[in-house]
Structure 1
């Protein structure tokens, strides 16, 4: 490579090195202390520099907090934003590989639920890494989660701005759909067998925001298995399903029409991108905006 072509790269590397020294988390940075979604106090001597996201939603939230460049690993299925697909894999979200984690030398592990993360506690302790659980349960929890991650990484300015924007969008939806006529909704969360979600799920929170009434909202478990006969008896005005593209959405509509469900025969089967609908991230607000608009169609 010629000197003329090499010089700009050397300058860029020098600037990047200087920026890294000045960035949050450099020597002399203040200690960090936050409370995670399991009400555990999590402490770091300085903002995290090398984090591993142990759930796809966690990686997405880290990017939203302006700290995507601090991620050094993630689990399979981590695919958003597109840059996250390039992160080294540490295995499956429910069974991450301790050896792969150790090789990446993290100072922060971001888990989802204790059931999945419990075996990681001794690993985190051995590596001197903090363990933070991220488990947003409501729409309001999503901007709060972004703010918390901003504190963990020292990226508060970007995180707080992003969180404020999401809260403004949620407030706009609440104002727009307050007082709307209720729409009875069946949520198709899985097929073969058929599953749905109750009101304690974050999707239930979306339905409430949009003026939807979950026909299985009072089910005793979060994701109950149901039958076609049960759905017919519940008489939903609309069916909402997480789908993978337009072809899947069309197939879902045809399946419900073939089953003779009145809502489907009226065309009120609405496919929403599954990752956007089921991951507790900023994209769920995108899904909420779409869902609210579609339920307005069902109102007529």
Structure 2
């Protein structure tokens, strides 16, 4: 009798154990699978977090490292020079001259691509080769914060990526409180992206987000294209308070000294910021934004004193 009862209990324990195993297996698979929306509003899904990631833009490389996924990167593109560890990763060219065969040979489980211009064609080619693609094209600060979160989800590094996103938002909020004027008239800014041919950016670019945060207004913000060639006459007509460019010095702006009628020339309001701090939609954009805000604070003070 006792033996029979013991045997029955053993069988019940075995059944319960088997049922528990069956019930937990789908949950485990569910936890391993990850899905996010990319910046093109496409659903990006992986059966498990990516272990082999290819970054196809410098800002993407910076975001991946900040999100804790640097160890998962197997290749980058040219000019991926930050952080220092990124310089040690193999480059497969650039978005305009990419070694696609070499990329495919790396067998990535995720390729993150700068989702603009000709990159769309490359993204489609990769998908045709059954490669999972995330299109990254942040247009504002919050998209950078969510990029950190989404990249960390895809790489299984949320323990790093979520705090990094929170820290980014906290610093951003501090910059807004410090530099964003409550009611003063925006100071007009011309951003010279390229000297020859003369080119600028519109309000869809992160540079304009930085200008707005600092209490400025991009005089060419309403242009249709993200980047556009413009004329000298257009700049003269816009008559900006400030002229801004990237680089180590304001030498690229010296041609405008020939036009003393310009407010920026008359008030000597030429400013420059290191290119990768302002043009890259990565974590260091806040460094560039803070520098820009300090420049525009000086420019605003000059305008008030000289008006």
Normalising to structure 1: TM-score of the pair? 0.83
**Number of residues paired by the alignment?**
270
Q: Aligned runs of 1:172-187 on 2, under 5 Å?
A: 172-176=174-178, 177-179=180-182, 180-187=184-191
CA shift digits 1:224-255 (9 cap, x unpaired): 22222321221211111122x2xxx1413533
- Inter-partner Cα distance in structure 2 for 1:275 and 1:63: 16
Normalising to structure 2: TM-score of the pair? 0.82
- Inter-partner Cα distance in structure 2 for 1:124 and 1:198: 30
Which range is displaced more, 222-231 or 131-140? Answer: 222-231
Residue 149 of structure 2 corresponds to which residue in structure 1?
A: 147
Contact 1:109 1:124 in 2 (8 A): no
Residue 199 of structure 2 corresponds to which residue in structure 1?
A: 195
Q: Unmatched 5+ residue regions in structure 2?
A: 1-28, 302-307
Which aligned segments of 4 or more residues in structure 1 are displaced greater than 6 angstroms?
Answer: none
Q: Unmatched 5+ residue regions in structure 1?
A: 1-26
Contact 1:59 1:78 in 2 (8 A): yes
Residue 57 of structure 1 corresponds to which residue in structure 2?
A: 59
Contact 1:253 1:264 in 2 (8 A): no
Call closer, same or farther: CA 1:229–1:124 in 2, change over 3 Å: closer
Residue 219 of structure 2 corresponds to which residue in structure 1?
A: 215
Call closer, same or farther: CA 1:298–1:42 in 2, change over 3 Å: same
Call closer, same or farther: CA 1:253–1:220 in 2, change over 3 Å: closer
Per-residue deviation, 1:82: 2.0
Find the partner of 1:86 among 85, 88, 102.
88
Contact 2:250 2:271 in 1 (8 A): no
Call closer, same or farther: CA 1:209–1:120 in 2, change over 3 Å: closer
SS at match of 1:118: helix
- Inter-partner Cα distance in structure 1 for 2:91 and 2:291: 32
**RMSD across aligned C-alpha pairs, in angstroms?**
2.1
The answer to whether the aligner puts 1:232 opposite 2:233 as a matched pair is no
SS at match of 1:196: strand
Per-residue deviation, 1:80: 1.4
